[in-house]
Structure 1
């Protein structure tokens, strides 16, 4: 089976090994003539990024880059990037990298033509309608990890540097116009990042699948996304050059982010404040808290996960699924709990308060309260 295709759901996706060579065509399709490539500090001078800049330059698109992006990007990173974008007279963004580069690139494109402050567009009610849609620049997204799926998302997670809270900035036009999913770009990912980003994709699929909201398209996508992670994440972790496994994991990442239009839940609601305050890797944090969240939600999801287990060829219904998650985490050398992840002296009350404010709460199968989230967090240490 050839892992090469052109998709237009949820946006135009150029999928396949070597397709980064189509970066100039992708920019042309998005109407971009003077792009700003936005990536993170760690990727900026790696060969995959420099060769992409070479392709841009050869096509007459220049080689402008902004890479002052923290692992958990902040509004200060956004302000610096917007200034570079405006000063350079750019007309679009190439968001390049993992979740941080993709999220910040999308925010820079979104904010380039806005006059209101960033926090006015937090994902609350209809706040997105405050934006001037004509001021949103086009985006070409190029993921270099297989986890967040931000390349097919309509939102970005930005950390408020003052309050240390992760905020979700949303607008429908933040969805990139064109995506290039080239598994060759993920070959250099260290095993630890392969594991953490892969489990982020799994968490997106799992929480979307368990969400009580109605979205059958997302439901089916979440189920198949979990299967791809089950089959191919251990392979990608064991052999980073396994392009078939890398390709299927890129699909799973995009599927998870498309599926979570149906909702997320407690995994993300507690992972967001932990990451914002303790600077842990997001996907790895999701993996660490996954089993405690499954235990808490069991009364509401036992039957549903039994059906998922049957599809995934996991014996034992809910218990079999739960044990599978534990074994997968162990195989990927995921820390056993938040203490082992390096979270020390946590302010449980503050984390609970932040978790209950997180938009992900709305998709949890049981209502999240101060009492059950406090117990959940304690169970994670």
Structure 2
């Protein structure tokens, strides 16, 4: 995968080493004369930020930088970003980084145009008032170009932003069709400095997106097909990307798989995300790492419902044991090889808030409503306890 690829699915995508070189032309074509570059503070001293700044400067594109973005971006971060957007009279946005930068940029784009947008287009409101994309009001949001530096969230191809409401320690999913970036640039050169632990956690995030989408009870065969191929790409590339960060083929394969996940989870997510959202908001742990730890516990909770479909998936992946048990064993071996902890207690969580976690997981209808089987708050609380204690119903880690 060394050539530059161009796709439009579901938006314009440039993919391959050196894809960054297409940025200036896309800015011109989109009428972006004064973009606000949104990133996180950790990115400011890294190679991707230097490359992007150099590219924009050489192209005589005027821009400012907003980097007051937390790893789990909050509504307050967005408010600060809106102030910067308006103060600089910006007409567009460029997001550089992982999901935090992408989600913050989307939130800024929406709130800069509609002061009540984060409230109006929160997931429960979307479900109540906008059953199809055509039902949303046209807002004329400023154009956004997304350049991911991690291969995990897939936010660059999504119409959603996940933002933390700090006062309540909960995450809100905001959705509007115009949040989909106008252009996505998947350049593996921007990911080559990502440390192995973050490569692993973000890669497992992408894997979780695909698995939960594949297992969703909603009927969406196109997304199911994307999920199956996305899982295969992760099986092929994730370990190599972790073991050799300069392997551009593996890095590119993971970027593609991550972006594909946002297409796959049009079909829905599930219990892993329903649990990870409140845990991330309350304990400020990395979203991908939470997903990676929780994944096998939710797979087991869903086993009776998903075993046939997981068996088909295992056969496609050519696993040695092509059934649910073989697939679960592959996930556990992959986690161990990547250095993912087996239990939530290993990252400092205890089961004291289990009842709260269960209630919040059930209330996260953006994910719990499309879990493979119906789970109640008590079920989610027990899954959380199992994940804290490392209990996998007869399975050895």
Which of the five TM-score ranges fits, normalised by the shorter chain? over 0.9
CA distance in 2, matches of 1:258, 1:161: 29
Please tell me whether residue 312 in structure 1 is matched to residue 295 in structure 2. Answer: no
Match of 2:394 in 1: none
Q: Which of 260, 266, 269 in structure 2 is aligned with 1:264?
A: 269
CA distance in 2, matches of 1:134, 1:208: 29
Q: Which of 214, 220, 224 in structure 2 is aligned with 1:209?
A: 214
CA distance in 1, matches of 2:352, 2:62: 46
Unaligned runs of 5+ in 2: 389-397
- 1:295 Cα offset (Å): 0.6
- 1:55 Cα offset (Å): 1.5
CA distance in 1, matches of 2:339, 2:286: 14
CA distance in 1, matches of 2:136, 2:143: 15
> Does the CA contact (< 8 Å) of 1:30 and 1:139 recur in 2?
no
Match of 2:374 in 1: 367
Match of 1:378 in 2: 385
The farther-off stretch of 346-355 and 184-193 is 346-355
CA distance in 2, matches of 1:308, 1:206: 10
Match of 1:89 in 2: 89
Cα displacement string for residues 252-286 of structure 1 (whole angstroms, at most 9, x for unaligned residues): 00111110000000010001111111111111111
Secondary structure of 1:42's counterpart equals helix
- For normalisation by structure 2, the TM-score amounts to 0.93
CA distance in 2, matches of 1:326, 1:14: 34
Q: Which of 137, 158, 177 in structure 1 is aligned with 2:142?
A: 137
Match of 2:186 in 1: 181
- 1:345 Cα offset (Å): 5.5
Please tell me whether residue 326 in structure 1 is matched to residue 306 in structure 2. Answer: no
CA distance 1:127–1:135, change in 2 (3 Å): farther
CA distance in 2, matches of 1:6, 1:368: 41
> Does the CA contact (< 8 Å) of 1:93 and 1:139 recur in 2?
yes
Please tell me whether residue 229 in structure 1 is matched to residue 224 in structure 2. Answer: no
- 1:33 Cα offset (Å): 1.3
CA distance in 1, matches of 2:342, 2:61: 47
Q: Which consecutive aligned stretches of 4+ in structure 1 deviate over 6 angstroms post-superposition?
A: 128-131
CA distance 1:94–1:126, change in 2 (3 Å): farther
- 1:176 Cα offset (Å): 0.3
Unaligned runs of 5+ in 1: none
Q: Which of 230, 249, 274 in structure 1 is aligned with 2:254?
A: 249
Q: CA RMSD in A?
A: 1.5
Count of matched residue pairs: 381
CA distance in 2, matches of 1:254, 1:323: 26
Match of 2:52 in 1: 52
Match of 1:335 in 2: 341
CA distance in 1, matches of 2:41, 2:136: 29
- 1:197 Cα offset (Å): 0.3
Match of 1:22 in 2: 22
Please tell me whether residue 355 in structure 1 is matched to residue 361 in structure 2. Answer: yes
Secondary structure of 1:134's counterpart equals coil
- 1:22 Cα offset (Å): 1.8
CA distance in 2, matches of 1:44, 1:284: 23
- For normalisation by structure 1, the TM-score amounts to 0.97
> Does the CA contact (< 8 Å) of 2:2 and 2:17 recur in 1?
no
